[in-house]
Amino acid sequence: MAVLDSARRSTKALGRRVLGLEAPAADHSVAVLHRDESEVPELDRRELAQLDRIRLLGATGTVLMVISALGVGAQPVLQNPTSGIRIIAIFGRAHTGSLAVCMVGTTMVVLAWLLLGRFAVGGLGGSPLHRLTRSQLDRTLLLWIVPLCVAPPLFSNDVYSYLAQSEIAARGIDPYEMGPAQALGNDNVLTRNVPNIWRETPAPYGPLFLWVGRGIATLTGDNIILGVWMHRLLALAGVALIVWALPRLSARCGVAPVSALWLGAANPLVLFHLVGGVHNDALMLGLMLAGLELCLRAIDIEPFDGRAYALLIGGAVVITLSSSVKVTSIVTMGFVWVALARKWGGGTRSLVISAALLGAIALSTTAVISSLSGLGFGWVHTLNTASAVRSWMSLPTAVGIVTGFGGVLLGLGDHTTALLSITRPIAAVVAAFVTVRMLVAAGTGRLHPVGALGVSLGAIVLLFPVVQPWYLLWAIVPLAAWATRPIFRVPAILFSAIVSVLQMPRGGEFEVFQIVGSAIVTVIVCVLFIVITRNALPWRGQSGVSAPSQRPRSYGVTS
């Protein structure tokens, strides 16, 4: 009996250590990602002149991307507005030249973003001596976004799937049961524009998105160009919500709003994929962050009165709306849950009451949306649709593919599918463990909920069966409001820059000679540009731009 008691106590102690319940209150290994940022003066006259040149560089790059998109963008197969126009149609015939122009443009935007970072976060490991203001960053972001708003879709054809799935819902057919080919027919103008891999698959998106999409389909009908612009307006609304929520969340974490906006909103992945690519992830992220900000604002109110309850309920509803676009964002509700329970004193009773309140809000909101939209809960059965794609950016998928390829080389046969059925569930368990660990850390006050949420989404993204370039934003955007150390910022910046440059402009493949030739041209043009502007732009760390030795002072409100 004593042996069983000892084993039970040992198991309990081990479980508490694994979950982080035994860690000191002020300690957590992930906290190394965060440091309060300092308030610093605005840019001086020389830096303002450099800022103007950086803005011009980024704007030039986006304009080049728009021009090249007329030839190599993800233009519709049917209803292509550039077909038959003599001057514009030349871009469609000169694919190699258009690809080179696009690659030069994307690289210019990435370089401009990196240079802008000198006035937002400073040098690696330090703080900027001077920092640009919020209005200066907003105007820069707007200048870079506007050209992409009128460009054909870039880097992805997903928007055409949105149009087809929305038309299916508009016709009264269940988009969670039938794909575009079965519901609309292979000869339908919308089906013809959907990539072949998705023509037979049902919609994997939540009822809110398809409900809004059904309204767009009713307004635009078979007009593809107008439909794309309407969906781009949704994406822009999502980006606007990100710009609204991110600086407010960063101030709660002791991070300069400009730093968070630079990494989270002015990020090339946001510009290229959420705006240029017209992805509904923009709406998901915008609603998620806005709801989180409302909930945290409610939790900070003393005493917790009727206004606090109204903000909390509103925020929880907005987060649920976000999960009705893509279900991943429902994870955010867990961090609101532990933060609210901690506000109410902690303990089992507080956890149960807060879980019941937030759970009731989430379930009732989802039920109302599913009922009013008439789409029901069929989306629950289509969440795994995207796993048909084998993405090299997904760690479990990459491990399965590499191991399967090794088996082929050893003469053991191709067992990739069997290996994926092993690696992907293991990855899901690991992601779930990390999420639980972060919930405990946030609930016990060792990590800010914003940072804990970002780390959890980072684990979910990296261990997801399928990872597209813009999925990285699920983690980068919330972490931009909390994680300030080089151990996070350097990989986030490198991933954002490299992935932005590597992605092809229509999301498809080009001939090797086209890619190589365009890459050579891009390198030559960019190297010459850097040499010519070496004294006009802050390519090197210089006095007045960043101060690695500067001791940070607390920025905003920290928790």
What per-residue confidence (pLDDT) applies to 517? 84
List pLDDT tens digits, range 384-429.
Answer: 666 555 566 677 676 666 776 666 566 666 666 666 677 778 888 8
The per-residue pLDDT for 551 is 47
Q: Which of 156, 141, 365, 357 is nearest to 246 (CA)?
A: 141
Give per-10-residue mean pLDDT for the chain (559 aa).
Answer: 58 54 57 74 84 92 88 74 64 73 91 90 72 90 92 86 89 86 83 81 88 90 88 94 94 89 93 91 94 93 87 94 91 93 86 92 92 81 63 68 66 65 81 90 87 91 82 91 87 89 71 80 89 82 47 47
Given this model, what pLDDT does residue 83 score?
65
Burial of 174 (C-beta count, 10 Å sphere; 0-12/13-18/19+):
middle
Residue 96 tokens read as 């190699």
Look at residue 212 in the predicted model and tell me its pLDDT: 92
Tokens (6 digits) for 385: 């649709």
What is the value of pTM for the model shown?
0.87
Distance, CA of 169 to CA of 158 (rounded, Å): 17
CB neighbours of 387 closer than 8 A, spacing ≥ 6?
424, 465, 466
Q: Could you report the per-residue pLDDT of 65-83, keeping only the tens digit for each?
A: 888 888 777 777 776 666 6
Phi, psi of 10 (to 5 degrees): -65, -40
The two tokens of residue 203 are: 């919609």
pLDDT at 392: 62
Contacts of residue 262, Cβ cutoff 8 Å, sequence gap at least 6: 113, 116, 117, 120, 121, 137, 480
pLDDT value at residue 405: 63
